[in-house]
Amino acid sequence: MGYNIPKRFRKELPQKKFEKRILGRVHLPKERQFLNSVFETTNEGTRRIPESVSEEDRAHLAKLAKDIKANRGSVRRVRLAALGIIVVGIIVFNLFFLDALLERAAERGLEAVFAARSEVDELDFSPLAGELTIAGVSVGDRRRPMRNLFELETLTASVNVVELLKGNVIIREASVATIRTGTARSTSAALPRAERGDGDSGQDTPSLVDRARDAAEGTFEGVSRLADPAALVEQELSNLESPALVEDIRAQYETFTDRWTERVEAIESTSEETVALAARVRDIDPAELDTPQEIADALVLLREASQQVDTVLAGSREIAGATREEYRAVETTLNRVEESLQRDFGYIGSRFSLDSVDVSGFVSGLAEEFLVRLLGEIYGTARRGLDIAERLRRQADEADAGGGGGISRAPGRVVSFPAVVYPRFLLQRAALGVEPGNLDVRLDGELTSVSSNPALWGEPTRLSLAGARGGTSLAAESELSYEDGRADGLLTTVSGAGLSFNTSEIPRLGALRSNYEFQTSLQLAAGGGATSQTTVELADLELDREETENLVVTAVQDVVAGLGTVDVDAEFTISEGSARLDRLSTSADDAIRQGVAATLNARRDEYVARARAELEGRIEEELAELEPLRERAARIRTEAERIREALAARDRLIEEKRAELEERSRALTAEQRERVEDEARDRVRDATEDLDLDGLGF
Amino acid sequence: MVINWIAKLIAGLIANRRPGEVAAGIAFGLLLALLPPGNLIWPLLFILTFFLKLNLGAELAALGIFRLLVPAADPLLDALGFRILTAPSLSQLWTSLYEIPLLPFTQFNNSIVMGGLVAGIVLWIPVFFLARVGVVGFRSHVQPKIAESRIVKAFTRIPLVSKFSQALRRFRGAYAAFG
């Protein structure tokens, strides 16, 4: 293939032009040398390429011509032209698809702020006029994915176009036709975790309703043990005094009767011989004893009987005394049964303390449930408001922070100038119309000073809504304050009148219906803590009773059904994830407490009486079982006494006989002496009759 | 990709191209490195370099190298930028600029951005001329010696180097065609 000399090199050029246009655009020394060698110098001093240049040099020149062309100018015209086409294309695309792009951007923005799927049906933006109209906005509720946080019919806003070109969305005036809250969604509003952009699980914290239910369950559990006094007596048997005492008495009786029986039998066996001997003594008739020998024999028998009776009598006295003492001890113990029974009654009464029934927990539980049902939306909405403010600020911060890049750079210092500086986002005022999903009242009001940089704007965000329909009215005032540009606290006051509620079935109690008025103020701190003061006035409270045999529940039902107007004052502290009831008082507190306490007292008295009767019956039964033993012991004791008395009688008999025998002995002795004297006298007289004793001078 | 960038850089050094292309690439690389990203100036400057006849390989190489070093100079850039932004004689200018739509996106009122921009512009010219002198010197003295050395000749026979060389040739062809 043959090469022509490139067009650029065909012209004859003056030396200066040759250097400027040719050599000036060749930047390799050897190429310059080549050109200098190829271009010959004419007589006129111009430079040209001779026709005789070789084929190889022509090819080289062709390449150099391309290089020279490439080295001409500083701008890549082709790329610039391509960029121009792209820019024009983008402008045209934006003109036709700007609204669609903004629509999608608005959806993404709402999703970022509310952390839930959001849809915008229609968006119309006129850049030159700065008029923005949005229709059919639905923002999902991240806590209830099948519900919308709100639906918005139409929003019209005037956007500051100049500020928009500076990157600030400034809306001085907006009008929101109707916002409906809590409407149902056909698709879930849950975003993937990555899109949600936080660690929030999206679940509600443990419900206060559950806590209320637990409290109520616990309350009723507290009285279940009142049901069976016999079971209680059985359960408390080891702690009672009287049953143990009765058992002790039984053991004593059994031990003593056995021992006494042995003793009495021993006395009886020895006393038979004594009785026989005593019978022989009794049969002695001293008058019939005529001789000293007979008397002596009788005295021997008497002495023998006396010794035996004395021995047996001493034993019987000892036994009778011991038996008497032991019997008396048992009887004394028996008498203590009554005293111990009285002490046991006192103990049983103490087991029915009202402390076991947490009435206050029940009242709190009911009130908490009521308040949570009533005010849950307010808490949730306020918390969401604070979250949204924080997200708005965080997004602005992230936008200000920029992309960053792989290598960290110092953030630098932002210098402010004496110019009107707006936050990245500002909604100065928006007129609102809200239709809460659970109420048949339309609320009108305004939202002011929503800003991504509250420190710059300098005014707190305020929301005020109010509305009335029929006898129902509702009003809400909310103010979000800032500290150092961060949301510092949210104070929300909501009040309503002419409202009514209808609870679901409260466990074991029933369903409540009432008309009510309320006012609640909720102070939410940015750190997560919150306090709330709430006043509720319930009127015409009605209760659909649940059938129950539980007396406490019945008492509560009675009191609740009889309540006319109830004032409820409550203070809650809500920290991250849980709510704590700091104080709760209702005008029903005392009524319910007194009603339940009266019922419980009556119930307790009844149960105490039943338990006493149960214990008393049990002790009486046991004592009745002891009666044969007691009778036997008494019989034995009587027998021992009888034996002792019989032996004493024998002893007395022996003593009498002894006295009689001694008398007889003395009489017989005197008689014998007299007879001997008489006989001696007779003998003397006989002897002296023969003698003349007078003559002897005697 | 990286091979192509290196090829572009080497092509810029040894091909019949203006030494200023490589020098401008290096100077722009320094300027982009001095500017923190995340503002409108950086992408605009970067896009601008696509439409200028400069060596993109040299620019990216310089950007990569200088970005490693520039954080050490941040305190100086911050001081410089702050002084410029707070200079009383310039306050009217900055205030006016700040009121102009789109300009706030440049974040020119950030001391690092302003310091980096000014330092980059000021350093651009000396860096450009120094780099240009370096390229010319390289082409005149170093390149011929390298090309003729035995080591390079042996080195170019290595398969990977051969592949690199092919890429270089391809690029040079494309580069020339793109114009």
At B125 the pLDDT is 93
In this prediction, residue A652 has a pLDDT band, given cuts at 50, 70 and 90, of confident
Query: Of A202-206, B149-153, B171-175, which range is least confident?
Result: A202-206
Confidence of residue A696 (pLDDT cuts 50, 70, 90): low
% pLDDT > 70, chain A: 81
Q: What's the per-residue H, E or C state across A241-258?
A: CHHHHHHHHHHHHHHHHH
For the cut 60, the answer to whether the pLDDT of residue A139 exceeds it is yes
Closest by Cα among A625, A582, A506 to A220: A506
pLDDT > 80? residue A588? no
Q: Does A375 have pLDDT greater than 80? A: no
- Asked if A414's CB is within 8 angstroms of B101's CB, the reply is no
Q: Label residues B71-95 b or e (16+ Cβ within 10 Å = b).
A: eebbeebbebbbebbeeeeeeeebe
> Is B51's CB within 8 Å of A412's CB?
no
> Nearest C-alpha of chain B: how many angstroms from A531?
41
Q: Which residue has the tokens 């005037």?
A: A158
The stretch A113-125 carries a mean pLDDT of 87
- Among B74, B98, B140, the residue with its CB nearest the CB of A417 is B98
The string of pLDDT tens digits covering residues A385-404 is: 667 767 766 766 666 555 44
Calculate mean pLDDT across residues A593-607.
76
Mean pLDDT, residues A176-194: 81
What average pLDDT does the structure give for chain A?
78
pLDDT of residue A693: 62
Determine the residue of chain A that is closest to B35 in CA distance: A409
Chain A contacts in chain B segment 90-129 (CB below 8 A) = 91, 94-95, 98-99, 101-105, 107, 109-113, 115
**Phi, psi for residue A57 in degrees, rounded to 5:** -65, -35
Q: What percent of chain A has pLDDT over 90?
A: 4
ipTM for the complex shown: 0.75
Distance CA A448, CA A205 (A): 30
pLDDT band at B172 (very low <50, low <70, confident <90, very high): low
Beta pairing class for A46-48 and A461-469 = unpaired
Residue A70 and residue B179: Cβ atoms within 8 Å? yes
A432 has pLDDT over 80: yes
Number of neighbouring beta carbons within 10 Å of residue A107: 17
Pairing verdict, β A46-48 and A40-41: antiparallel
Please tell me whether the overall predicted TM-score, pTM, comes out greater than 0.80 for this model.
Answer: no
pLDDT at position A326:
82
Q: Tell me the mean pLDDT in the region A360-365.
A: 55
Q: Which residues of B44-60 are buried (b: 16+ CB within 10 A; e: fewer)?
A: eebeebebbbbbbbbbb
Residues from chain A contacting residue B112 (CB–CB below 8 Å) = 409-413
- Minimal CA–CA distance to B8: which of B158, B170, B177, B178? B170
Question: Is the pLDDT confidence value at A241 over 70?
Answer: yes
Chain A residue whose CA is closest to B54:
A74
Tens digits of residue pLDDT in A258-287: 887 887 787 777 777 777 887 888 888 888
Query: Mean pLDDT: which of A185-199, A305-319, A324-338, B23-37 is highest?
Result: B23-37
**CB nearest to B19's CB, from A27, A404, A417:** A27
Residue B130 in this model has a pLDDT that exceeds 90: yes
CA distance B174 to B179: 8
What residues of chain A have any CB closer than 8 angstroms to a CB in chain B?
25-29, 31, 64, 66-67, 69-71, 73-76, 78-80, 83, 162, 165-168, 401-405, 407-421
Interface test with A, best of B8, B14, B16 (most A CBs within 10 A): B16
> In chain B, which residues have their Cβ closer than 8 Å to the Cβ of A416?
109
Residue with tokens 């490589």: B22
Chain A residue with minimum CA distance to B100:
A166
CB neighbours (10 Å) of residue B121?
A: 12
Rounded Cα distance between A295 and A301, Å, is 10
pLDDT tens digits, residue range A186-218? 888 888 765 555 444 444 433 434 444 454 454
